[in-house]
Amino acid sequence: MQERNTIFRPVQQLFDRVWNQGRLELIDHVFTDAVILHAGRSAVQGRDAIKDIIGQFLVGFPDVTHTIEDLIIENDRVVTRWRGIGTHLGVYAGVAPTGRKIDYTGITIFRIASGRIGEAWVNAEMAELLVSLHES
């Protein structure tokens, strides 16, 4: 079981400390230098890109809480089905704060390398989230 805990540790820190506590400085400890984040058909590389993405989201939704609802660990992969709940209190994607509640879900597959996240494939309901901010 220790090996499973070691594989899961960086993912747990990402959810608990980076996302839920807003501790962006921990990204350097959670991700490898050359991390690749795949979202849809695009990809970004490097910890600075991850800091920017998460940082922008936390500006828009500073009270967001992400919860892991399902977890699968197999070899060097960690799969999470998660849920995010928060309030649109800051500018996000060019949209001024609306005060609207968000509740969205996603699935992320993480590849762990040397105790850190080396790659991640994210499938999240971002389109629906953005549409909900524009609804009157």
- 12-46 pLDDT, tens digit per residue, is 999 999 999 999 999 999 999 999 999 988 999 99
Asked if 104 and 83 touch (Cβ cutoff 8 Å), the reply is yes
Please give the Cα distance from 37 to 70 (Å, whole number).
20
Q: Domain-by-domain residue ranges, the chain?
A: 2-134
| Strand 42-45 to 116-124 pairing | unpaired
Structure confidence at residue 51 as a pLDDT band (50, 70, 90): very high
| Mean pLDDT of all residues in 102-131 | 93
Please give the Cα distance from 101 to 87 (Å, whole number).
4
The confidence score (pLDDT) of residue 136 equals 57
Residue 14's nearest CA partner among 122, 104, 103 is 122
Per-residue pLDDT at 2 exceeds 70: no
CB atoms within 10 A of CB 122: 17
| Mean pLDDT of all residues in 54-66 | 97
Domain boundaries 2-134, corresponding CATH code: 3.10.450.50
- For residues 89, 94, 98, 103, the Cα torsion angle rounded to the nearest 10 degrees is -70
Per-residue pLDDT at 1 exceeds 50: no
